[in-house]
Amino acid sequence: MKVLAVLLAALPLMAGDLENFTDNALNYTQRNSACFALRGNKTPEAVAAMRSALENASLQACAAANLRAAGAYPELLGALRDAKDPGARAAAARELGTAQKPEYLAPLAEAARDRDVLVAGNAIEGLMRYEDRSSAPQLREIALIGGIQTTLALDILIDWQDPEVASLGRKLVARKNPADQLTGIRAIGLRGDKSDLPRLKDLAKDDQEMNAGSRGFGFMPAVSISRAAKTAIANLEK
C-alpha cells in the first residue's frame, strides 16, 4: 500500500514535468530541467514527446538520452534513419552505440557514411562504445571510406591494437589521395614492420605537401608526405 501511495503521489509531478517539457512558451533551460526530471519515464506519452524533441537542437541531447534510458530503441533507430535534422541523427547514433547491441552495428556503419560530418562522426563514436570490440569489422570497412571517417575509424583501431591496422594502412598508402596516404603512413609507422620500409622510403622522397583544405579539418598547417614517411621509418627502425 505504501508503494502504491508513493506512485500515485508522483503521478501529478510526472504529468507536470511532461507538460513543462512540451510547453513552447517556456525557455530551453526550463524545458531541459523538465526533461531531466522525466528520465526513466517509459510511458507512451513521454516517449512520444522525447521522439518529437529530437528534432529540436536545444533539447535533442537530453531527449535522446531519455529515450535510451526508457529502452525506446525503435524510436532512436527511426530517428537515425529518417530524421531530417542532422543533430537528431547524430544524437540517436551516439545513444544507440551506448546500448552496445549487435543489431545496431549495421545501422551505425551505414550512418558512418552520412554526408553530414556530425552524423558520421557520432556514428563512429557509437561504434567505438562497443566495449567487446565487436564493432571492429565495421570500423575496418569505414577506415577505407576516405576522409575524416578514415581518420576517426583508424584511430580507434590503432587504440584497440587491432591486427588489421597495418594492412589497412598499406591499402591507404597505395591510393593516390594524399589524405588517405597520410593516414596510411601513420598506421604503418605504428603497426607495420620492416617489409614496409621500401615503400616508405619512396614516399620519403616525395616533397608534396597537403594543405588543410584537402584534409577537411579547417585551419591547420600543411603536412608533408615526405616528413610523415620519415617519421614512420624512424618508428619502424627502432
For residue 103 the three cell numbers come to 543489431
User: Do 196 and 108 reside in the same domain of the chain?
Assistant: no
Q: What does the alpha-carbon distance between residue 206 and residue 216 come to, in Å, rounded to a whole number? A: 21
Indicate if 45 and 126 belong to the same structural domain: yes
151 within a domain of the structure (yes/no): no
Same domain, residue pair 128 and 217:
no
Give the DSSP H or E segment for 210: strand 209-210
Encode pLDDT of 44-71 as tens digits.
Answer: 999 999 999 999 999 999 999 999 999 9
In a domain? residue 159:
no
Rounded to the nearest 5 degrees, what angle is found at the Cα of 177, between the Cα atoms of 175 and 182? 90
Of 94, 109, 142, the residue at which a domain comes to its end is 142
Residues 32 and 129 in one domain: yes
Is 86 inside any structural domain?
Answer: yes
User: How many domains does the chain divide into?
Assistant: 2
Cα separation, 150 vs 181, whole angstroms: 11
Give, as one character, the DSSP assignment of residue 132: T
Pair 135, 197 in one domain: no
135/180 same-domain check? no
CB 72 within 8 A of CB 40: no
What pLDDT sits at residue 205? 87
CB atoms < 10 A from the CB of 235, how many?
Answer: 15
Side-chain-side CA neighbours of 124 within 13 Å: the count stands at: 25
pLDDT tens digits for 1-60?
Answer: 454 343 433 344 455 789 999 999 999 999 999 999 999 999 999 999 999 999 999 999
Would you say 211 and 196 are in contact if contact means Cβ atoms under 8 Å apart? no
Helix, strand or coil, per DSSP, at residue 209: strand
- In a domain, residue 10? The reply is no
- At 200 the pLDDT is 94
Is residue 3 one of the residues assigned to a domain? Answer: no
Look at residue 128 and tell me if it is in a domain: yes
* Angstrom distance (rounded) from CA 203 to CA 225: 7
Does any domain span residue 194? Answer: yes
Q: Are residues 63 and 99 in the same domain?
A: yes
Q: Which domain holds residue 21?
A: 15-142
Q: Which helix (H) or strand (E) holds 134?
A: none
116 and 170 share a domain? no
Please check whether residue 6 lies inside any domain of the structure.
no
The rounded distance, in Å, linking the Cα atoms of 9 and 169 is 60
DSSP state at residue 220: -
**By the 8 A CB rule, do 76 and 59 touch?**
no
**Is the distance from CB of 125 to CB of 159 less than 8 angstroms?**
no
H or E segment and range at residue 223 = strand 223-224
DSSP 104: G
- pLDDT tens digits for 64-122? 999 999 999 999 999 999 999 999 999 999 999 999 999 999 999 999 999 999 999 99
